[in-house]
Amino acid sequence: MHTSETPYVALDRPASAPRCWRHVAAASCAVAVPSLLAIALVVASSHLSLALLAAPAPPLYTRCTLGRCDAPPRVGTLRDDTAVVFVSAPSLSTGANSSGPFLQRREVPFGSFYGLAQGDLSATVRPQDERQQILGFGAAFTDAAADTLARAPAPLQKQLLGELFGPHSIGYSLGRVPIAGTDFSPRAYTYDDGTDDDVELRRFNASADDVHRIPLLQKALALEPELLLMASPWSAPGWMKSNGGLVWGSLKPEHSKVWANYFCRFLEHWAARGVDFRWVAVQNEPSSNSRVSTLLSRLTIYWNSMSVTPEQVRDFIKDDLAPALGRCAKQTEILFHDDQRSALPTYAAAVLGDPEAARHVAGAGVHWYDASFLGSLLGWYWIDRQAEWSHVADFARAWPNLTVLGTEAAEGFEPWSRGPKLGSWWRLETYAYDILRDLQSGAHGWIDWNLLLAMDGGPNWAGNRCDAALLLETNDKYPAIDGDAYVKQPMFYALAHFSAFVPRGSRRVAVESADFGADVPVVAFRTPTDTIVAVYLNRGADDACLHLRDARRRKALRFCAPPHGLVTAVWRA
């Protein structure tokens, strides 16, 4: 159910709210901070002027209460001569017969393979030219997500999780779990905090996970038993590090084996409670403090973090982590990278260039921030000029036996566009485009950042609040708001356009187009049930009519995507 309620005026955060500038340092740009702030002020003031002049627009989000929400998309019965098409676009929110802007279902008949109307664009799907297998889509089980969900009444918790996992959901099948604390935690912590060395890990205590995070995972696994999980640490305990703290610093070489045993203790604690991990990453964003922009890092990164060079990753894998996992978690595989796409070639060269380290590696995870930084200011002009997806494609071609996943993305992290923005269609487009480009480049899946946040983009001990696909109507500033409703942001539907239609085991298939050149905004898949799924994003301000050919059937679909529209088409192979 789409609703026109707009009850959030009281939730607007003051201008002095903490900045969400999480990944400025990870973006490879040499723009001075004062210049960025000046640009931000100009853009913000122009946006304000336009907002004051604009007429009120229908809300581009869905507010859900217990028993009252929109349903996940369902394809229904497919006929040989027809495709089922789902469209999301801001223009669909208006009109007397509108059912809302998201996932409107239509049936489109097949037509001539060759007929092309003047002004149409064309693309050809080749179902027999199969590429990588898809493992799925999902989000991260952070402290913030688990603590926020716990504030909702139990029946609403069940409804919300049912939106994401299980047979009547949008089909999440991947998850990411931080090893101990992140900035999206109630405090800065690890499982073995203290001032003295504890090489036997006698102080190790993960009981905090038993309160909300592990119960949340257990509920998700009950709905989706085939959920695949990865784990990643943000920081070693301070006594293991060069600077003695949880922010910045690097691992002391003499503690590398203790650090590997720490991984094992985490995995064993969760396994004893029925939660196993398919992968573990060596470190979240290890390059953030080891690149040219270190000075900018020091100004902007003020939460759990740790620098690990490519050579240190290589040596830790082969000398410490792989032997430890061989003793405590044989089923858990190693991702050598969990960082920006731009850093992937350097880390791959060091790790995979070493035969001993390479034989222990299952793949890599990539983050989106190097392309999305400045996107909210400079738009597609900036995003289209980033070359980071080529690094993913090169990696997939060079090591086709390894897994590559998109492992983190979040909107609202820039100081000029911070925190949640209700109904931001720009953020739907950036999410959809990032998923599309990652999958086109060879990624096997895509994982969002926080599964859920409060309406103010937290909780976050570092004040580093961001947006999320799902927001619960509660926050620390307004405790009287009791969490009896949640909001589906447009980003939720960006994910649903993929996750609800492309199950695990699907394979990406080739799509070609002379009209679009190398940057075809269409990605297609062949599913295990022998259907074809194609997703098309129209980033333009005008209708874009697409003649989508099926090379095997020698038939074509013609549909017009509204401005800024996202379309998923499904038909029999």
Backbone angles phi, psi at 426, to 5 degrees: -55, -40
Tokens representing residue 202 in the block: 């006698």
Q: Among the options 224, 285, 414, 473, which is catalytic?
A: 285
Query: Is 285 in the active site?
Result: yes
DSSP 341: G
Three-state SS sequence of 257-276: HHHHHHHHHHHHHHHCCCCC
Compute the residue count for the chain: 573
Cis peptide before 459 (omega within 30 of 0): yes
- Strand spans (E) along 455-565: 470-472, 485-488, 507-512, 522-526, 531-537, 544-550, 555-561
CA proximity to 186, closest of 142, 219, 218, 153? 142
- Catalytic residue, chosen from 333, 408, 414, 429, is 408
> Quick check: 420 and 456 in contact, CB under 8 A?
yes
Q: Which residues pair with 138 in a beta bridge?
A: 174, 447
Q: Give, for 375, the enclosing helix (H) or strand (E).
A: helix 375-378
Q: Measured in whole angstroms, how far is the alpha carbon of residue 413 from the centre of its chain? A: 13
The Cα 429–Cα 450 span in angstroms is 18
Pairing of strands 453-454, 470-472: parallel
For residue 226, how far is the Cα from the chain centroid?
A: 19
334-370 core/surface letters (b: 16 or more CB in 10 A; e: else): bbbbbbbbbbbebbbebbbebeebbebbebbbbbbbb
Q: Among this protein's residues, is 408 annotated catalytic?
A: yes
Rg of the chain, C-alpha, whole Å: 23
The whole-angstrom separation of Cα 156 and Cα 145 is 14
Based on the number of CB atoms within 10 Å of its own CB, is 270 exposed (0-12), middle (13-18) or buried (19 or more)?
buried
- Residues serving a catalytic function are 285, 408
